[in-house]
Structure 1
Amino acid sequence: MHVVVNAAMSADGKLSSRRREQITISGPEDFARVDRLRARSDAVVVGVGTVLADDPHLTLDDPELREQRLEAGKSEHPARVVVDSNARTPTDARIVDDAAATYLLVSESARFDRRAELARPSVEFVTAGEGRVDLLRAFASLQERGIEEVMVEGGGELIFSLVESGLVDELSVFVGPQLVGGRDAPTLADGDGFVENFPELTLEDVERMDDGVLLRWTLAE
């Protein structure tokens, strides 16, 4: 499985403001790039915090990209994956509509009544871990379902956990021309943080885009 983390952050490394509301960081060029990256992926992954804050749909905007996927024998949109240990995804969230298949990665502690409320033909539950999702087991289960190319779109807690688990192969980050500030504003990698054995990145590409810059790193195995 090949896992790419994609994110847009401010010049000071923030994904959004301290209110954790979605803010516009990149522009039209980067939006189109993200759509192309989604189109190449078998699945797009977010954490439940992103679902609660932004209510993303995670489908393809460009009809040509959708048509290309269909011509290649794939589904119109990549599958959507939510890492949601306790099944907190709202029942009316756009990510569980029937536009595309959705996998909800939950732990054994997720309440059965919440699972029942979220059950629908487009949703499949993947249970891995006791109190929280065991990402290694969950991603292995996704791979068993034929998912090989994965795009991760946040948030910071999930990105940190994936890097900590050794699951990330590539990191693509658009750095925008604004300062957000705030000690409580989410960053690219939140979680507990590393205090030693910091993951090493190799810079593969730098590209000026919109009014910012796109950086692409690979992670050492």
Structure 2
Amino acid sequence: DDPELTCRREDRPGRDPLRVVVDSKARTPPTARVLRSSATASCVVAVTPHAPRERVEALRATGADVWVVSAGRDGRVDLVELAGRLAQTGVVSVLLEGGPTLLAGALSCGLVDALLIFYAPKVIGGVEAAGIIGGEGVANLDDAGGWRFRRVEMVGDDLLVELWRCSQD
């Protein structure tokens, strides 16, 4: 996957969002589309102080804004600190498109108010297959609550399930 993270809707053109790449060790290649696209919005790459200097400089050379953010206990970018820095720049909402580790981190920090989960009509899996949410999970089903269905609908051939935290209106 090599996303641009841009707005490409033909039916309703929109402005490109601020693209934020959470990359604790600065592993994003300088040739990544998110760094090389002709998007109108800038790109921030959030790294930890432990990211190799040469990789950080290679990211800066692409024109990306590299933010050095404290590492959490797990050694990854502290997502609460990153959210605070984004808020200081005027960002009031974030669409998180990432893997199971990033989603688990954001959920465990209480940064997620809504989940929009798309299911494609494909059956994959296996013992080694990653789920949509990584991390430790919950030991007790009672700890997994706090969400309610907001919307379920077909979007093309895919199924969209929208969940909101119970505290959301």
Letter in 1 for 2:65: E
Are 1:103 and 2:50 an aligned pair?
A: no
Q: Which residue is equivalent to 2:16?
A: 77
Structure with the largest fraction of helix = 1
Q: Which residue is equivalent to 2:131?
A: 187
Letter in 1 for 2:88: E
CA distance in 1, matches of 2:10, 2:153: 26
Q: Is the 8 A contact 2:30 2:62 kept in 1?
A: no
CA distance in 1, matches of 2:139, 2:166: 18
Distance 1:217 1:207, change over 3 A: same
Q: Is the 8 A contact 2:46 2:77 kept in 1?
A: yes
Post-superposition offset of 1:80: 0.8
Aligned residue runs from structure 1 range 52-131, under 5 A: 54-63=1-10, 65-66=12-13, 69=14, 76-97=15-36, 98-99=38-39, 100-120=41-61, 122-130=63-71, 131=75
CA distance in 1, matches of 2:35, 2:166: 34
SS in 1 for 2:144: coil
Instruction: Report the TM-score, using the length of structure 2 for normalisation.
Output: 0.85
CA distance in 1, matches of 2:114, 2:166: 9
Q: 1:140 aligns with which of 78, 84, 87?
A: 84
Query: Any runs of at least 4 consecutive aligned residues in structure 1 with deviations exceeding 3 A, and if so which?
Result: 63-66
Instruction: Report the TM-score, using the length of structure 1 for normalisation.
Output: 0.66
Aligned pairs, how many? 160
Post-superposition offset of 1:186: 2.1
Post-superposition offset of 1:150: 1.0
Aligned residue runs from structure 1 range 2-41, under 5 A: none
CA distance in 2, matches of 1:199, 1:145: 33
Letter in 2 for 1:201: W
CA distance in 2, matches of 1:63, 1:119: 31
Residues 115-165 of structure 1 deviation map (CA, whole Å, 9 limit, x = unaligned): 111114641122222332100001110111111121111111111110011
CA distance in 1, matches of 2:58, 2:157: 43
Post-superposition offset of 1:168: 0.3
Post-superposition offset of 1:82: 0.8
Q: Give percent identity, aligned residues only.
A: 32
Task: Give the aligned CA root-mean-square deviation in angstroms.
Answer: 1.9
> Gaps (5+ residues) in structure 2?
none
Q: Is the 8 A contact 1:58 1:95 kept in 2?
A: yes
Aligned residue runs from structure 1 range 32-51, under 5 A: none
CA distance in 2, matches of 1:88, 1:199: 35
SS in 2 for 1:119: helix
Higher relative contact order (CA 8 A, sep 6+): 1
